Amino acid sequence: MRILFLCNKSPWPPKEGGPMAMNMLIEGMADAGHKVKVLAVNSYKYNISQSSIPVSYQEKTGIELIDVDLRPKAVDAFLNLFTGESYHVQRFNSDSFRTRVIAALSADEYDVVQLETLFMCPYIPAIRANSRARIVLRAHNIEHLIWQRISEETKNPVKKWYIGHLARTLKNYEQTIVPYVDGILAITPTDAAYFKGLFPEKIPNSSFITDLPFGLNPAKYRDDQRETEFPSLFSLGSMNWIPNQEGLRWFLDQVWPDVHRQFPALKYYIAGREMPGWINALDLPNVVVLGEVEDASAFIASKAIMIVPLFSGSGIRVKIIEGMAAGKTIISTSIGAEGIEYTNRENILIADAPCEFFEMVSLCVTDYEICKKIGKRAMALVETTYNSKNLLQKLLAFYQQLGD
């Protein structure tokens, strides 16, 4: 098959959730012998040099990075209040990116054009006008839900109203765009059900919507025999994502003081790209801020208990899947583990209140055998449900169904 991927950021290097999820399909399809082409937004927030991408990857994917100015502008944001349009989506609507899309469609014929995230949907008219390819939206999240949850957690009334406005306009766009694509790949079964329920009277046959989670090669994590520091806690994620920052602040304020008091020798490691100043300035006993680590999988392998205290967000947490693949015990909130087909206390530990987090941390720190059992069951879940080999076969079958 011939697939053109339009990406809201570069899939290379695959060091955080979005790029990893995109790259899984891009490299997987290319390695399976299908022709792929990648056009990706290059922005101030996630800026990649074309020359830094390995030549082998460039040849395999035909990747092109197009500069798009995504910086929020006060005047544009203010004027947007009177349009009813989504400011999040509006910022991705670029003439230069559209020109490259049209050029790519003119140079080659494609069976599928895959839109990686809702933010690539402004290019649907250009695709329709220049190609007969099927258009597939890969929804990494229910985008408006992220901002709706952030709004619910925000105390400042003005900020709360504005974030709520962003959530409402994003929701309207998200719901309106569904009839304009030929297929939707949701990241979780819950997200797929959401899309199926949007227009039941207009879309009685919703077989064009399916779920396709993030996947990986379990062997890459299973075979890492690196020595693990036990007990130890760790968090890993992109710290320029608001839900990650909010969750980390909550854990440090509400849980860590009691944990440190009970286990004074226990260390908590924080790693991830784009660390904000307030995290780098932390001066808490036994809290180790590492910043971006060179090898995320090696870092995961070296630590014992993963902490994922999320209270907003949507979709699926890639780092949890990675942690499970490495046989780690994960302690997360219900929202953090949302979308993962887990069983609480079997392959993950769920905690939504400070006292629950303290209880779960205490359980893990004092009982190595429980950690080992939960980790093994987590590995088994990844092997059966989040194995990229099986997911790529499902993706190909979905593409073929759309072409029938």
| Residue in 329, 272, 271, 322 with CA at minimum distance from that of residue 304 | 329
Tokens of 365: 């720190």
Q: Which amino acid is at 10?
A: S
Q: What is the pLDDT of residues 214-272, one digit of tens each?
A: 999 898 887 566 789 999 999 998 888 888 999 999 999 999 999 999 999 999 999 99
| Residue in 98, 87, 3 with CA at minimum distance from that of residue 41 | 98
Q: What is the pLDDT of residues 353-391, one digit of tens each?
A: 999 999 999 999 999 999 999 999 999 999 999 999 999
Q: What pLDDT is stored for residue 200 in this prediction? A: 67
Indicate where the chain has its CATH 3.40.50.2000 domain(s).
2-215+387-403, 219-385
Q: How many whole angstroms from its chain centre is CA 368?
A: 30
Using only C-alpha atoms, the chain has a radius of gyration, in whole angstroms, of 21
Q: What pLDDT is stored for residue 198 in this prediction? A: 81
Q: CA dist 330 to 186, 214, 306, Å?
A: 24, 17, 5
Question: Is 118 within 8 Å of 177 (Cβ atoms)?
Answer: yes
In CATH, which of 3.90.1150.10, 3.40.50.2000, 3.40.50.720, 3.40.50.300 is domain 2-215+387-403?
3.40.50.2000
Q: What pLDDT is stored for residue 150 in this prediction? A: 85
Q: CA dist 46 to 13, 14, 164, 188, 317, Å?
A: 11, 12, 25, 25, 19
Q: What is the mean pLDDT of each run of 10 residues along the chain (404 residues)?
A: 97 90 96 97 93 96 97 87 90 97 98 97 98 96 86 89 92 89 92 83 66 90 78 93 91 97 98 92 95 91 96 82 95 94 96 98 96 96 94 94 78
Q: What is the pLDDT of residues 288-306, one digit of tens each?
A: 999 999 888 899 999 999 9
Q: What pLDDT is stored for residue 290 in this prediction? A: 95
Distance of alpha carbon 262 from alpha carbon 255, whole angstroms: 11
Q: Exposed, middle or buried: residue 265 (CB in 10 Å: 0-12, 13-18, 19+)?
A: exposed
Question: Is 5 within 8 Å of 38 (Cβ atoms)?
Answer: yes
The architecture CATH gives domain 219-385: 3-Layer(aba) Sandwich (3.40)
